[in-house]
Amino acid sequence: MEIAGTDALIMERMTKVISDVLKPGSQPITLDKRFKEDLGADSLDVVSLLMALEEEFHTQISDEEAARFTTVGAAFDYVKVKAAQKAS
Amino acid sequence: MTRRVVITGIGIIAPGAKDTAAFWDNCLAGRAAVSPIPPHWRHYAEFTSTIWAPLPVLDYPALGLSRVELMQLDASSMLALCAAQQALDSARIGRAVKNEKKNTFALEGINPERTAVYCGSGIGGLTSLIAAQANHVVSPLAKAFSLVQQQLALDGTHAPARTVLADAEESIRMPPRFNPFIVSMTMPNAISANVGIKYSLFGPNTTVCCACSAGTVAIGNAFTAVRAGLADCALCGGAEFLGDDFGGIFRGFDIAHTLVNPGNDPDCANRPFDKRRSGFLFAEGGAAILVVEELSHARNRGAPIVAEITAFAESFDGHNIMMMDPSAVHIRRMLGTLLKNAGLDLSDIDYVNSHGTGTTANDEIEARVILDCFGKKPLVNSTKSLIGHTIGAGGAIEAAVTALSIKNKTTHACKNLDEPIADLNFVRHVETFPIKKAVSQSFAFGGHNAGLVLEEYE
């Protein structure tokens, strides 16, 4: 899937956050990647990742929402919606 | 044969100084760090003391801390880690990446199982708990507050009430979320634990909590462990961060009438051992970490030797949780033991880095003790006259000053000392001093007394 425009900027920022927190090495960060199984995150890493995403995108992620964050794509969709809500 | 213990590395972060070189420059130049307290603290209280000694702005990512560490570590641990890295660099101990994600390292040329960590702190990660608690308590109130404001605005009535609410809203400060790592941020042992994790060190690891003497006791514990053969090397010292966002910790000391009265000239208000002293200058925080090693361990790896630690002693007043025992009987006993442990006479001491807080009672007692125990010969100064009181880091910073004074054959003057309260050999000007044997001493809330003897390495 190609991401363009504002979405591409969001993805760029999100990739940087994921890279900072999980340090996945040569593993590319793509929408289909699962945080735990593919990017090597343990449960504390996931908590750190949520905090970092909150900080980066100035938002608050509830525990309920966080439970759905199993893939990069799920996190991206969430952040995208939040960004659109802020812009409107 | 007695194992000798030497200092081979020093790292310091203090009010006005990001590293050891800047700190020592400030000391010799007599540059003090004094500023008005943050203006927003006045939302919460009227303070008697209105000045403090702030830390410099630290760029933690540039100092090697990761994004995750910034979220998960209290400032006391971050200060300790940055000071530890400085100390390792100055001791010429290299490092190799152990785990990139965790941002941890293995030290080169050091047996990690024979390397200990002893850090002192007064309050550990209390400021993180205060921030989290603000979120915990204030979040629901802030929501209710916002609803009331909205309703009043819609009604277009109650203008005075809206003004009051708008003013009050400015005082609501809290982090956006309750930090899920708050337990490990708050626990005082996190300071030494984080140093041990960062450098993969598996020897004894303890954080010493005894307020203003914690840094001295931590170095003393490291000295004792290395001398006894429990470790060959140690990272030791103290770290403290006291600058909570509300000035609550400051208020605790202020309301107890321990802090300096700023008077008409705040720059001259902090004056330990002067007749016009009025209390201590509250510091935002600080850290000093030393690398100490058994002598042959240091020599085998070609380490630079700053000074030798030859004795440590401690005692307890058993008198009052916030006041020194005026008789100072157990301080005198501690100093006697200290010199006996070092195999020295009182007259051998060239320099005393005093506790020197600037409070009326403490300076009076300490000056009398120094005069009675050491006489008029040794040089005396107070590092707190320059950087204020960093509580659990204070003893460690002062031990570092003592070591640097021996190495550089000079030491700093007592800032703002115009009319001394005792006829002691206070350092009034920076010049060459042949300092070979020195004492660094600390006394704490609770009644904990501790001292170290440092000597020129020969």
Q: For residue B145, what pLDDT band results from cuts at 50, 70 and 90? A: confident
Model confidence at A3: pLDDT above 70: no
| Cβ of residue A66 closer than 8 Å to a chain B Cβ | no
Catalytic residues of A: 42
- Ordered by start, the domain boundaries in chain B are 5-125+187-455, 134-183
Q: For residue B154, what pLDDT band results from cuts at 50, 70 and 90? A: confident
| Cβ of residue B139 closer than 8 Å to a chain A Cβ | no
Of B72, B100, B177, the CB nearest to A48: B72
| Cβ of residue B44 closer than 8 Å to a chain A Cβ | no
Minimum Cα–Cα distance from A55: chain B residue: B176
Q: What is the pLDDT of residue B456?
A: 98
Q: What is the pLDDT of residue A85?
A: 81
Minimum Cα–Cα distance from A24: chain B residue: B101
Q: What is the pLDDT of residue B248?
A: 97
Q: What is the pLDDT of residue B53?
A: 98
Which helix (H) or strand (E) segment is B381 a member of? strand B379-381
User: In sequence order, what DSSP letters do the residues of B41-56 get, joined into one string?
Assistant: GGGT---S--EEBPPP
| Cβ of residue A52 closer than 8 Å to a chain B Cβ | yes
Q: For residue A26, what pLDDT band results from cuts at 50, 70 and 90? A: confident
B245 vs A4 pLDDT, higher one: B245
Exposure pattern of B212-230 as b/e (b: 16+ CB <10 Å)? Answer: bbbbbbbbbbbbbbbbeee
Distances (CA, A) of B253 to B4, B49, B250, B283, B359: 40, 9, 5, 11, 12
Model confidence at A56: pLDDT above 70: yes
Contact B393, B286 (CB under 8 A): yes
CATH homologous superfamily of B5-125+187-455 = Thiolase/Chalcone synthase (3.40.47.10)
Q: Mean per-residue pLDDT for B212-234?
A: 98
Q: Which of A33-37, B57-61, B168-172, B202-206 has the weakest average pLDDT?
A: B168-172
Q: What is the pLDDT of residue B152?
A: 84
B177 contacts on A by Cβ (under 8 Å): 51, 54, 60
Q: What is the pLDDT of residue A52?
A: 95
Task: Find how far residue B65's CA is from the centre of its chain.
Answer: 21
Q: Mean per-residue pLDDT for B210-237?
A: 98
Question: What is the CA angle B285-B220-B346, rounded to 5?
Answer: 110
Model confidence at A87: pLDDT above 80: no
Q: Mean per-residue pLDDT for B312-324?
A: 96
Condensed to tens digits (0 to 9), the pLDDT of residues B70-94 reads: 999 999 999 999 999 999 999 999 9
Q: For residue B153, what pLDDT band results from cuts at 50, 70 and 90? A: confident
Which helix (H) or strand (E) segment is B288 a member of? strand B285-294
Do A54 and B176 count as a contact with CB atoms less than 8 A apart? yes
Q: End-to-end CA distance of chain B, in Å?
A: 17
B72 contacts on A by Cβ (under 8 Å): 48
Rg of chain A (C-alpha set)? 12
Q: What is the pLDDT of residue A4?
A: 64
Q: What is the pLDDT of residue B218?
A: 98
Longest dimension (CA), chain A: 37
Q: Mean per-residue pLDDT for B291-318?
A: 98
Q: Mean per-residue pLDDT for B410-431?
A: 98
Model confidence at A1: pLDDT above 60: no
Q: Mean per-residue pLDDT for A8-21?
A: 95
Q: What is the pLDDT of residue B146?
A: 83
Which residues 6+ apart lie within 8 Å of A62 measured at CB? none
A22 contacts on B by Cβ (under 8 Å): 101
Instruction: Supply the mean pLDDT for chain B.
Output: 96
Q: Mean per-residue pLDDT for B154-159?
A: 79
A54 contacts on B by Cβ (under 8 Å): 176-177
Residue B356's SS3 state is: coil
Q: For residue B141, what pLDDT band results from cuts at 50, 70 and 90? A: confident
Residue B275's SS3 state is: coil
Instruction: Supply the mean pLDDT for chain A.
Output: 89
Distance from B124 to chain A by nearest Cα, in Å? Answer: 22
Q: For residue A88, what pLDDT band results from cuts at 50, 70 and 90? A: low
User: In sequence order, what DSSP letters do the residues of B147-200 get, joined into one string?
Assistant: HHHHHHHHHT--HHHHHHHHHHHTT----SS--TTHHHHH-TTHHHHHHHHHTT
Record the tokens describing residue A57, joined without a space: 């995108």
| Cβ of residue A14 closer than 8 Å to a chain B Cβ | no
Record the tokens describing residue B441, joined without a space: 């001493």
Q: Mean per-residue pLDDT for B299-327?
A: 97
Single out the residue of B383, B281, B444, B408 nearest to residue B12, CA to CA: B383
State the ipTM, two decimals.
0.89
User: In sequence order, what DSSP letters do the residues of B2-27 get, joined into one string?
Assistant: PPPEEEEEEEEEBTTBSSHHHHHHHH
Condensed to tens digits (0 to 9), the pLDDT of residues B359-411 reads: 999 999 999 999 999 999 999 999 999 999 999 999 999 999 999 999 999 99
For a pLDDT cut of 90, what percent of chain B falls above it? Answer: 90
Residue B117's SS3 state is: strand
CATH number at residue A34: 1.10.1200.10
Q: What is the pLDDT of residue B140?
A: 87
Q: For residue B201, what pLDDT band results from cuts at 50, 70 and 90? A: very high
Q: How many structural domains are present in chain A?
A: 1
B66 contacts on A by Cβ (under 8 Å): 20
Q: What is the pLDDT of residue B131?
A: 97
Instruction: Residue A44: give the domain boundaries.
Output: 5-87
Distance from B183 to chain A by nearest Cα, in Å? Answer: 13
Q: How far apart are CA B14 and CA B24, in angstroms?
A: 10
Distances (CA, A) of B381 to B364, B365, B445: 14, 15, 21
Q: For residue B420, what pLDDT band results from cuts at 50, 70 and 90? A: very high
Model confidence at B451: pLDDT above 70: yes
Do B180 and A23 count as a contact with CB atoms less than 8 A apart? no
